[in-house]
A and B are shown apart, each in its own frame.
Chain A
Amino acid sequence: MSAQDTSVPLTNTQVAQFASGTGVSCFHHDLIAVPAFLRKIAAVLPVNEEADRALNAELSRVYANFPIRKIVRR
């Protein structure tokens, strides 16, 4: 089932809520707006896939040196 199948029309207030940041928790009633907003974010804030993969690999190498301590339950 696509997102659009379950969508309901948005009020201007709901669109404004989503765009202003409150909408991250409002996806359930902003389903029409989400793809449009994501397309705009992708257009103006594109992901460099090659750089992204290289960064992820370097982060994994760095984090491998961080100690993990088990929490002792009392």
Chain B
Amino acid sequence: MPATNERWPPVYDENDLEGAIASALRQIGKTFFEPTLLDGWCQGDIVGLAGAVPIVGPNGEVSVLDVPSSYWLLLGNSCDLDRSLDEVAWAPAIPLLPCSLLSPQRIATMQSYQTVRTFFVQSWGAETGDAYGDFTLMASVSRQWLLQQKPVARLRQASWTLLNACLVRYLARSDGRND
């Protein structure tokens, strides 16, 4: 897995993880994306996809939620994205929504990565503004379709470290029942 081996930080225990996240927070303002894209797909890659989010609607009917988004953020683990289609056929992803939907105050709080369900993404091109992904809008993307596409942008190591930490925090944050 050349793409992933080159970009995953050498974290071996929880203390290393703390240092890696702190370092990522310091670096995040510099460059959010890799200058060049390696082959394959990685967690945190952005894929162009104009579409809606498939949902089960308020009355239990299969529906789609029309969102103002033309790009999605891949959340599947890089190792799963590297497996054969026979092993893993689908990858979770969330739409990237424009920050312009929200008030400046809310955007500022997302930029500090101190909110649970969102991940702030800096603009990845001249025509795109800052965006955010909402972990509650997760959908499955066919990896067979992904194989026919190219990533639009790829997070660099620091921004991917933050995404990974935010995703783990969202999925595994304690609800206090065993405190």
Contact = CB atoms under 8 A, between A and B. Distances in A.
A6 B77 CA distance: 25
Interface string B51-73: 01011011001111111100000
Interface in B1-32: 8-9, 11-18, 20-22, 25
Contact of A59 (B55, B62, B134): B134
Instruction: Give the contact-size bracket for chain A.
Output: 35 or more
Instruction: Give the contact-size bracket for chain B.
Output: 35 or more
Given A46-B114, A51-B114, A55-B118, A68 B106 contact: no
A48 B17 contact: no
Interface of B: 8-9, 11-18, 20-22, 25, 43, 52, 54-55, 57-58, 61-68, 77-80, 101-103, 105-106, 109-110, 112-118, 134, 160, 162, 164-169, 171-174, 178
